Structure formats: structure tokens, C-alpha cells
Amino acid sequence: MVTPVEQWFAGMDITAGRLEAMNQRSAFQVTNFGADSSGTTDASPGIQLALNAARDVGGAQVLVPPGVYLIGATLRIYNNTRLTLMAGAEFRRNVSATMIINGDAGQAFGGYTGHSRIVIEGGLWNMRGTTAGLTASAMCISIGHATDIVIRDLEVRDLPGFHAVEMNSTLRGAVLNCRFRGYVDPGGRDFSEAIQLDLAKSSGVFGGFGPYDHTPTEDVLISGCYFGASGTAGTTAWPRGIGSHSATITKWHRRIRIMGCSFEGVLQYGISAYNWEDVTITGNTFVSCGSGVRCRSVIVSDPEDTKLPDGTPTGASQSMRNITISGNSFRGGLAYDEPIICLGEATGTILNVAITGNTIDGSTSAQNGIRLQECSRIAVGDNIIANVAGTGISTEDCNTLTITGNNVFACSSHGITIVDNSNSNIVGNQIREPGENGILVQSSSFVHLRDNFIRSPSRTTNAASYGIRLSTNADSINVSGNKVRPHGSGNQAAYAFSATNTVTTLSRYGNDWRGTYATGQLNDLSVTPNTTATDIT
């Protein structure tokens, strides 16, 4: 006989003895408060009585035994409460509203002073978004003005319109080992995130309660979660897995860690880090997603996001910084956007970015593998990028950039592009069989190309591209120790190396251009290039 224990944790067996022992010891088991577990009668009054009782004693565990519980009204959870749905317990939404929120409508706890230190765990949270009367946008778990929130080991299924978990104005939150399956767009909500990190900007952003003091969300860990489809007729996978889509100038979401999650068939972005800082995205898997990871500074064309907290329009973005994207796997990327994209604004540069050790295999509709625009102080290293429909690593309007040790294979366009950049080091990369140029440098200055190996450039069209191509007023370029080889059959590069007559201050030496190309090995029309290996003074 299994010895009954006072508490149940995920993974424990549910025996009759254990359940009865817990029932005897727990004054906060929802069935003791009249909650019906048959799925035929509204259980929310009894569940709410248990949550209120826990509140009235300063906090307690509220236990939900196995069964189906119709939720006919929004549940309210309060300080120091642990709400535990045991294995086999289902909350089945039966109201066109949020399933659960921390606190009461009309409360006025600002900053992070609202109902806090809450754990919500276990069970199936069935939002029934295709059911008549329940198809309007709704939230499942909504948290605001809080600290120390843990949501774990549960599944949210078939949600319409809004978010499975919203952490708004929350300090120290964790979403662990949860599953987010199935989404319904009721119209105009093709951008919703399963997990949204947001700020207390307005009632339109967070409808649960105020005050609307623009408190952001900070110190969040999201780990071991799954985002995808449920298979229910009339539903899709989520548009976005994790992200934000509103902002206020002078505010940021900070210290966000996303680790070991799986994104499958997500329609837009697996992760959309909008106006986030101090971000770590590591060890995640993206399969057949519209895009993988997007880092985006405040969109300057958005009149609401570019306002100050007092409502003053700025018409400008703001910088975001300190982002690590490492050790992730991207396979079969779809047409929405690149597998990895960092997109800043002229008034909102993305600063201090490390993109390392990722594996990208496949994209469609001319999407690049990694795209960087309006970024500064960036390291892109030791990534494997294969079979993408655009450029392997595309950079534009960036500065202080290092691209090193990457393996770029069979990209339909270029291997690496440096466009309108300054202070860029492109060192020790291997680029094989690009459709167009191996490395393209345009309108850029202070660029160092060293020890790169390019094999079989211009595979799409014979004599249309080059191993290394410098053009369009490129200036102060060093090209040394690079090796370019033709394919040996089929389409070939026009030249191993080509520089137009608008290129100035070129230093070129110690490169290996041997092989038979469509036209020749070397086509250097730049202005008075230096080809000596001695010091230049």
C-alpha cells in the first residue's frame, strides 16, 4: 500500500489513499467548497470560495482533484496562493472572459505591489475557442502588477484571440514546462503570443485593472515549454510563441531568459523580443516556423509605442542592448521572416549582440539565414547556415561587427553581405556553393576580410557573381589570406575577386585565387590598391 502523503506534486501517483489523506488535511480542496468535478455544473463558485479562503488566512495551497470543472466566471487568485490542478484535472472555460487573474477589477496596486507570490500549476486549461459563444478574444492566465509568479506543468489549449499567459508589469516570473497548443484568430489577431510580456500601458493593453503607470516586466525565465498546434478542427498553431507588441519610450522589458523551448509550426515568430534588454535565448528548437527569433527596437512608425509615459509623442525609437542568441536549432524555416533577425531603427540601434553556435537548415521565399540591420557591437560566430533561400548572413547599416568561424552552405543568394557598414571584421568563415557572391561588400568602410574560404560561388548563373566582390564606394578595405576556388563544372564565378573603380584605399595581399573561372581570377579596378605585405605608413 502506498503511504498517503500530505502534499501532491507533479509526477506523483494519484491513489485513493493519497487523495483521501490530502482531502482530510487540506481545508482548501475545491470539492470541499462545492466545486462540481463532473463537467456538467458551473464549478467556478466553489473554486472561488476556496481561493477566497486561502486569501483570508494569508495564503495556502488550493487543490483541484482529477475531474472536469466548468469555469463559468473569471477566477480571482490572491497573495501567497498555490493553485494546483492534479493530473487528470481540467478547467473547461464556459464564459466569454479571462479564465483567471491575480486580483480584483478596480484595484489600484501600482508598480509591483499587486497580488504576488503565486504558483499556478498542473492540469488542462481548455479555452474551447471554437465553441459557440466562446469564440471572442479571451485570456487564459492574466497577471499584472505582481512579483514572484510561477506557472508550470500545465497545458493551455485552443485559445481565441489574446494570450495563454500574460505577464504584465511583473517582476520575477517563471513559466516552466508548459504546453501551448492550438489557437483561433477571431479576426485581426494574427499576431498574438502564447506568452506575452507587457507593460501597464493602458486598458487596451491590459484590461484587468490599473493603474496604468507603464510598469514593465523584468526577470522572467521561460523554460521547457512547447508551442504549436492542437489538431482541433478550426484551430492553428500559435501566431507567435513568446513576445511583446507594445512599448513606451524610457521603458524596457529586462532580464529575459528563454531556454530549452520547442516551437513547431508557429505561423510568425517563435520569439519576438520587442523592446527587450539583457536577453538570453539559448538551446531552443524551431521547426517549420514562419520565423525563429526577432529582436526589434521600438517601431518608429508606431504613434503609440513612441510616446513617453506622460503621452508626449517623440516620433523616435530607442536603443535596446545586451542580447545573446546561442545554441538554438532552426529547421525548415517558412516565408514570414528570417530564422534570426535583429532589426533596429536609426533612432533605436540594437547594441551588444552575440549570435553564436546556432544551426539553421532551410528557409523559403528568399529569406536570409541571419539578418542584421541598424545594429552595433555584434559578434556572429560559429553558426552553421545551410540551404537558405536568401543570403546566409545579411548585414546592413551596422557597425563594429565581427563575423567569424561560420559555416555557410548552399545559400540561394550570397554567402555574407556587408552593406552600408563600418568597422567590420569578416574572418575565418567557410562559404560553399552560394548562388551568387561568396562575400559582397558595398558602400562600406573599414572592412577586414581575412582567412575566409569560398568554394563554388555563382552557382545560380554563370559569370554573374564573384568569390569576393567590392563595389559602390567601398573604402578602407583589407583583403588578406583568403582562398577562393571554382566548382570545376557547371556555373562558375566571373572572377575569384572583383573590385569596381569606385573602391578606394584597398590593401590586398596573400590571397589564393587559383582555378579556372568563367572570365578570370582577378578583376581589381579599385583606385591604386596596395598589394604589398609590408607595413603601410
**Cα distance between residue 327 and residue 309, in whole Å:** 37
CA dihedral 372, 378, 384, 386 (to 10 degrees): 20
pLDDT at 265: 98
Using alpha carbons, select from 315, 162, 172 the residue that is nearest to residue 240: 162
- Tell me, what's the pLDDT at 395? 98
pLDDT in tens, 117-157: 999 999 999 999 999 999 999 999 999 999 999 999 999 99
pLDDT for residue 17 = 59
Domains of the chain: 24-246 (2.160.20.10), 424-537 (no CATH)
Grid cell listed for 368: 536570409
With b for 16 or more beta-carbon neighbours within 10 A and e for fewer, the 143-180 pattern comes to: bbbbbbbbbbbbbbbbbbbbbbbbbbbbbbbbbbbbbb
3-state DSSP call for residue 34? Answer: coil
Cell of 520: 578570370
Q: What is the DSSP letter of 158?
A: E
Q: Are strands 89-93 and 291-296 parallel, antiparallel or unpaired?
A: unpaired
Element (H, E) at 291: strand 291-296
DSSP one-letter string for 329-397: EEES--SSS-SEEEE-BTTB-EEEEEEES-EEE---TT--SEEEESEEEEEEES-EEES-SS-SEEEES
CA dist 513 and 496 (Å) reads 6
pTM of this prediction?
Answer: 0.94
Q: What pLDDT shows up at residue 537?
A: 81
| Residues of the chain where predicted confidence (pLDDT) is lower than 70 | 1-27
| pLDDT at residue 502, as a whole number | 98
The answer to whether residues 51 and 43 touch, using CB atoms and an 8 Å cutoff, is: no
Query: Whole-angstrom Cα distance, residue 116 to residue 59?
Result: 10
In this structure, what C-alpha cell is assigned to residue 80? 501567497
* Cell numbers linked to 32: 470541499
